[in-house]
A and B are shown apart, each in its own frame.
Chain A
Amino acid sequence: MTHMPTVFRRILLVLALFAAAVAHAQLSIEITGAGANRIPVAIAEFAGDQAAARIITATVRADLERSGLFRMVDPGGTTLDENAQVNFGDWKGRGADALATGSLARSADGRMEARFRLYDTQKQVALGGAAYLTGNDQLRAAGHRIADYIYEKLTGEKGVFSTRIAYVVKSGGQFRLQIADADGQGAVTALNSPEPIISPVWSPDGRRIAYVSFEKKKPVVYVHHLASGQRQVVANFKGSNSAPAWSPDGRRLAIVLSKDGNSQIYGVNADGTGAQRLSQSSGIDTEPRFGPDGSIYFTSDRGGSPQIYRMSGSGGDPQRVSFEGSYNVSPRPSPDGKSLAFISRRDGRFQLAVMDLASRQVQVLTDSNKDESPSFAPNSRMILIATETGGRGVLSAVSSDGRIKQRLSIAAGDVREPAWGPFNQ
C-alpha cells in the first residue's frame, strides 16, 4: 500500500500475432502503474498446435498483466494440458499462487477447442475450468474468455477482457468511429465521416451505439446497429440534438434538444418517437446519464456554474450532487451504482474525479490537464478517459482507486470520445 510499483512496458501484441491486421489503426497500450498487491499467476504453455496455443496464452497473460492485479510468473517453457498432473510444490516454489494449464485441439466441425483448468497452488486444488469453441481467427477472443474466467475466480469480480470499446479517431480531416477489443486490438471502423462524431454510447445489449454526428452541418443523434451498419436518425429537431444516453433497459434514450431555446433534457423511445421534456431550467441542462436505478445524473448551469445534479428518470426536482469548485461536468454513474466519475476543473486543469456516492467524498484520480469523457468498464473497476499527451489525443484507463493507469494511443491521429461497452453477452 505504501508504494506503487511502476511498470513501464509496451505491449505490442498485435505485431507479433496478427501482422496482417490493420496495424496502423491499432491502439498500443502502455501500463504506467499497477496495483500494490498483485497476485502471482503462471500460465503454462498449452498443449496442441503450438503457434495457435501461443496466441491464446499470450493473450491471457497480457490481459491479466494489463489489469494491474496480477504478476505473471514465467512457466519456463513447461507445457501442461488441462488433465496433466500438477506438481504444486514446484509451482509454489516458482512463486505462483495460481496456475492455469490447457490445450488446444481441433473439434469435429473444424473449429478449435480451447480447454483449460485453473489451480490454487497454495490449497493444492483445482478452482475450475472451461472449454471454448472458436474459429481460427478468433483465438484471441478465446484467450480473453479464459482471462475473464481466471480474473473472476481469483478476484471475485467479473472480468472485462472480452468487452469492446468504441472511440473516435481524427486523422487527415476524417473522423472514424472505431470499435476495438478492450485491449485496443482488432479495431474496425463503424462509421467514416468528413464531419465530427461525438458522444458515442453503447446500448445495454452491446448491439447498437448512439452518437452525435455533424454530417448534416448541425448535431443530429443517430442509433447505429453495428452488425448491419444500419443507421437511424433518432433526433433531428430544429436546433441542436446531442448527448444521447441509454436507459438501463435499452428501450429509451435521454437526449438533449435545443428546440425550445437552450439545451434541455428530453426522453425519447429508442426509435426517436415520443419526445418528452424531462428537465426544466432557463439555462443549460445537458450530459444526461442513467444510474443503474434509473435516475438521471446531468450537468446544469442553473446555479451559475456548471455542476452535477440528479433527478428521477421521469424528470422532476433535481438535487445538486457536486459542490467543490466552479466547473464539474460529464457525470458518469458507475454500473454498480456506488460511485460517480466526472471531470472537474481545478486551477484551470480538467481532471478525472470520482465521488463515492454514499459518503460524497471526492478523489481526483489524474494529474493531467485535459481529461474528457469518462466511461466506466462494466465491472466498475476501470474508467476510460480521453486525455492529451504532447498535444495529441490519447485514451487512458485509470482504476477507480487511481492506482492503475494505462495509456492507449494510436500512431496516426487523435483519439477521443471513448465508450466502454457492456459485458459480452
Chain B
Amino acid sequence: MNKLLIPALLAALVAGCSSTPVDETAGAPVESRSGAGVTPVTAGGLDSRGLPKELTDPKSVLSRRSIYFDLDKYEVKDEYRDLVAAHAKYLVANRGFKMLIQGNTDERGSREYNLSLGQKRSEAVKRSLVLLGATEDQVESVSLGEEKPKNPGRDEAAWSENRRADMLYKAPDGRGEF
C-alpha cells in the first residue's frame, strides 16, 4: 500500500509546494525506511576501494589529494607544504603503501610537450615527498598532460583547476586507486 501512496504523496507535494513550504512530515514514513542518515561502515576501517578511511574520509587531511600550480610554474607552493608533509608522514609510517602522482596541465599547446610539463609537476611533488622520508619505491610520478582535465571549460578559471598534481594510493594488498 505504501508503494502506491508514494507517487500520490509526491504528486501532492509537487503540486502544493510552488507557493507554500513543503510539509516535511508528509514524507516521514517513507524516509525512515530509506538510507538517508545512515553511514555505511566496512569492517576493518577500509573504504569501498580497500583503503584505510583516514585516506579517504573527508574529515581527514589525507583525503586532500590535489596540489595546484600557477601558470608555467612547476614548484610546489608554500600553501601545500603541510599537505605534502602529512602525506609523507603517512608513507613513512606505512611503508607497504604506494602512491601514484599524476601531473596535469591546461589544454594550451602541444599535447606531448604538456605531457612533459605535467611530469615536471608530479616529479616536484615526488621530490618533496622523498625529501620528507618517502622512498623512491613507494612513489611513482607520471603525467596525464592535458588529456584528463578536471574542468573541461576554456577559461582561466578552468585552466587553473587543471594545472594540478593528484596523489593516488594503493594498499599493500594491491587494492586502491590505481
Contacts and interface: CB of A to CB of B under 8 A. Distances in A.
Nearest to B148: A196
Interface stretch (A6-14, A237-245, A402-410): A237-245
Interface in A190-218: 196, 198-199, 212, 214, 217-218
B109 A258 contact: no
A299 interface: yes
A391 interface: yes
Give the interface residue-count category, chain A. 20 to 34
B176 to A, nearest CB: 11
A397 to B, nearest CB: 19
A286 B142 contact: no
B113 interface: yes
A395 B21 CA distance: 55
B59 interface: no
A325 B6 CA distance: 67
A258 B119 contact: yes
B140 A196 contact: no
A77 B127 CA distance: 73
A240 B115 contact: yes
Contacts of B112: 198-199, 242-243, 256, 286-287, 299, 329-330
A214 B111 contact: no
Give the interface residue-count category, chain B. 20 to 34
Contact of A196 (B102, B116, B123, B147): B147
Interface in B71-91: none
Contact of B109 (A262, A263, A345, A417): A345
Contacts of B142: 217-219, 239-240, 258
Given A196-B144, A219-B115, A284-B120, 10 more contacts: A218-B100, A219-B142, A219-B145, A239-B119, A240-B118, A243-B112, A256-B115, A299-B110, A345-B109, A373-B111
11 contacts: A196-B148, A199-B111, A214-B144, A217-B168, A258-B116, A258-B142, A258-B143, A262-B123, A343-B110, A350-B108, A391-B154
A219 B112 CA distance: 11
A327 interface: yes
A261 interface: yes
A306 interface: yes
A81 interface: no
Most chain A C-beta atoms within 10 Å of own C-beta, residue among B111, B112, B154 = B112
B105 interface: no
A372 interface: yes
Given A198-B147, A261-B123, A350-B108, A306 B113 contact: yes
Nearest to A306: B113
Nearest to B136: A238
B117 interface: yes
A239 B141 contact: yes
Contact of B115 (A286, A372, A417): A286
